[in-house]
């Protein structure tokens, strides 16, 4: 399994950060590869994600839920992409907010060749999680995800997703 681990500090309390993340349906607001998350009961959910060449779907189960501290999950048997992980929420040093640590483990579709192709299309997992956490930080600290035409989402976005900056609509070049 591929392992991805990233940490970000957010200027909010562990309670606030945990409560937002725990509402799984809100995750696609800052996780660009997710199309939808539908909660089916307090411990189970159905996930739809974008993938090179289409989309993948799976059902997941929350395996551990310690409010304001950690949330762990695993995909259920038969998932198109087997995955599991944990998100930890802990007070940051010097009263600077909350450290959010994400550890994700998954089987890359298509093995090593599939992972290489995914990188070419800007779907490199380390960069995806880093970008997702950066957008989550923005959402928690400013209430929105800020985007700019002049910067890339991340170095792993791939040449197919890049485009030149555009003038505002209605302005002549």
Query: Which CATH number characterizes residue 17's domain?
Result: 3.30.530.20
Number of domains comprising the chain: 1
Query: Which of residues 144 and 97 earns the better pLDDT score?
Result: 97
Mean pLDDT within 66-95: 95
Q: Left if phi > 0, otherwise alpha if psi is -120 to 50, otherwise beta: which for 111?
A: left
Could you tell me if residue 11 is inside a domain?
yes
Can you give the residue range of the structural domain that contains 6?
2-146
**Residue 151, in any domain of the structure:** no
Cα 71–chain centre separation: 14
**Given phi > 0 = left and psi -120 to 50 = alpha, else beta, which region is 97?**
left
- Which pLDDT score, from 0 to 100, does residue 72 have? 98
- Pick the closest to residue 80 from 112, 54, 103 (CA basis): 54
Residue 171 counted as domain residue: no
Tell me the three state secondary structure of residue 111. helix
Q: What is the mean pLDDT of residues 62-91?
A: 96
Cα–Cα nearest to 149, from 135, 161, 134: 161
| 170 domain residue, yes or no | no
Residue 158, sorted as left (phi over 0), alpha (psi -120 to 50) or beta, turns out to be: left
Give 166's contacts (C-beta < 8 A, 6+ positions apart). Answer: 149
Full-prediction pTM beyond 0.95? no
End-to-end CA distance of the chain: 49
Across the range 75-104, mean pLDDT stands at 95
Q: Reading across the β-sheet that carries 83-91, which strands appear in turn?
A: 2-10, 98-106, 83-91, 70-75, 54-66, 44-51, 34-41
Task: Please indicate, yes or no, if residue 153 is contained in any of the structural domains.
Answer: no
Average of per-residue pLDDT values in the chain: 85
Domain-embedded: residue 169: no
111 part of a folded domain: yes
d(CA 47, CA 43): 13
CB 10 within 8 A of CB 141: yes
Quote the tokens at residue 164: 């030149």
Q: Where is average pLDDT lowest: 24-28, 83-87, 106-110, 141-145?
A: 106-110
Q: Encoding tokens for residue 173?
A: 């070049």
- Domain assignment present for residue 159? The answer is no
């Amino acid at each position: 399994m591929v392992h991805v681990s990233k940490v970000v500090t957010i200027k909010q309390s562990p309670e606030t950060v945990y409560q937002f993340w725990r509402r799984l349906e809100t995750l696609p607001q800052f996780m660009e590869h997710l199309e939808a998350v539908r909660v089916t009961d307090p411990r189970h959910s159905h996930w739809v994600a974008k993938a090179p060449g289409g989309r993948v779907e799976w059902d997941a189960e929350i395996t551990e839920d310690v409010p304001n501290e950690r949330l762990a999950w695993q995909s259920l048997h038969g998932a198109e992409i087997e995955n599991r992980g944990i998100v930890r929420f802990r007070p940051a040093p010097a009263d600077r907010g909350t450290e959010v640590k994400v550890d994700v483990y998954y089987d890359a579709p298509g093995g090593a060749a599939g992972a290489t192709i995914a990188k070419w299309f800007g779907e490199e997992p380390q960069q995806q999680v880093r970008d997702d956490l950066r957008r989550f930080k923005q959402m928690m600290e400013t209430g929105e995800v800020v985007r700019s035409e002049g910067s890339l989402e991340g170095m792993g976005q791939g040449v197919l997703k890049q485009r030149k900056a555009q003038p505002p609509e209605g302005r002549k070049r």
